[in-house]
Structure 1
Amino acid sequence: MSLLLTCDTGGWKTPTRLRDRLAPAEDFSGLQVAEPDLIPTTISLPTDRLSRRGVDREAYFAARKLAHHGGSELICNEFRSDLVDVGRSLHHRDLFPPQVRALPVETRDAIIEEIYHPYRNRVQQRIAELLQTWSYVVHLSVRTFDAKTTGGDWQRGDLGLLYDPARKDELDWCLDLFDELFASVRELKVRRNHPHRGTNDSLTKSMRAEFPPDRYLGVELTLNRAWVSRPVIRREKVLERIGRCIGRLANASIERAA
Structure 2
Amino acid sequence: MKSISGPIVLFTCEHGGNRIPKQHAARFVAHQELLQTHRGWDPGTLQTANYFHRQIPSQLFASQTSRLLVDLNRSETNPALFSKLVPPPSKSQRRELLETYYRPWRQDVVDWISSQTERRQRVRHLSFHSFTPELHGEIRTAEIGLLYDPGRAREREFCDIWRKAIRETFPEFRVRMNYPYRGISDGHTTALRKQFTPEQYAGIELEVNQQLFQRPSRLVKQLIAGLYQSWDQAMQHAASNLE
| TM exceeding 0.5 | yes
1:214 aligned partner? 199
Tell me if the contact between 1:29 and 1:54 (Cα under 8 Å) persists in the aligned partners.
no
Q: Is residue 2:159 matched to residue 1:156?
A: no
2:48 aligned partner? 62
Q: Is residue 2:178 matched to residue 1:172?
A: no
> What is the CA deviation profile of residues 203-251 of structure 1, one whole-angstrom value per residue up to 9, with x for unaligned ones?
0000000000122111111111121233431121011011122123334
Letter in 2 for 1:20: Q
Tell me if the contact between 1:3 and 1:137 (Cα under 8 Å) persists in the aligned partners.
yes
TM-fit CA distance, 1:169: 1.4
TM-score by length of 1: 0.82
Structure 1: 5+ residue runs without aligned partners? Answer: 33-44, 46-50
Query: For 1:5, which of 6, 11, 14 is the aligned residue?
Result: 11
1:204 aligned partner? 189
> What is the CA deviation profile of residues 69-92 of structure 1, one whole-angstrom value per residue up to 9, with x for unaligned ones?
465432101322220101101111
Distance 1:197 1:31 in 2: 25
Q: For residues 70 and 241 of structure 1, do their structure 2 counterparts lie closer, same or farther at Cα, with a shift above 3 Å needed?
A: farther
TM-fit CA distance, 1:138: 1.1
Distance 2:239 2:23 in 1: 49
Letter in 2 for 1:93: P
1:20 aligned partner? 23
Aligned-pair Cα RMSD in Å? 2.4
Aligned length: 237
Tell me if the contact between 2:9 and 2:123 (Cα under 8 Å) persists in the aligned partners.
yes
2:226 aligned partner? 241
Letter in 1 for 2:99: E
Q: Could you list the structure 1 runs, at least 4 aligned residues long, displaced by more than 6 angstroms after superposition.
A: none
TM-fit CA distance, 1:54: 1.1
Query: For 2:63, which of 62, 68, 77 is the aligned residue?
Result: 77
**Greater fraction of residues in strand:** 2
> What is the CA deviation profile of residues 22-53 of structure 1, one whole-angstrom value per residue up to 9, with x for unaligned ones?
42755444278xxxxxxxxxxxx5xxxxx503
Distance 1:8 1:243 in 2: 19
Tell me if the contact between 2:14 and 2:62 (Cα under 8 Å) persists in the aligned partners.
yes
Distance 1:27 1:189 in 2: 37
Distance 1:73 1:85 in 2: 21
1:209 is paired with a residue of what secondary structure? Answer: helix
Distance 2:57 2:19 in 1: 26
Letter in 2 for 1:163: Y
Which structure exhibits the higher relative contact order, with contacts defined as CA atoms closer than 8 Å and separated by 6 or more residues? 1
Range that drifts further, 74-83 or 247-256? 247-256
1:108 aligned partner? 94
**Greater fraction of residues in helix:** 2
Distance 2:218 2:120 in 1: 36
TM-fit CA distance, 1:157: 0.4
Distance 1:254 1:222 in 2: 23
Tell me if the contact between 1:70 and 1:243 (Cα under 8 Å) persists in the aligned partners.
no
Distance 1:23 1:57 in 2: 24
Query: For 2:212, which of 211, 227, 251 is the aligned residue?
Result: 227
Q: 1:29-48, aligned counterparts within 5 Å?
A: 29-30=32-33, 45=36
Q: For residues 220 and 29 of structure 1, do their structure 2 counterparts lie closer, same or farther at Cα, with a shift above 3 Å needed?
A: farther
Tell me if the contact between 2:126 and 2:204 (Cα under 8 Å) persists in the aligned partners.
yes
Q: For residues 122 and 252 of structure 1, do their structure 2 counterparts lie closer, same or farther at Cα, with a shift above 3 Å needed?
A: same
Q: For residues 225 and 21 of structure 1, do their structure 2 counterparts lie closer, same or farther at Cα, with a shift above 3 Å needed?
A: closer
Structure 2: 5+ residue runs without aligned partners? Answer: 1-6
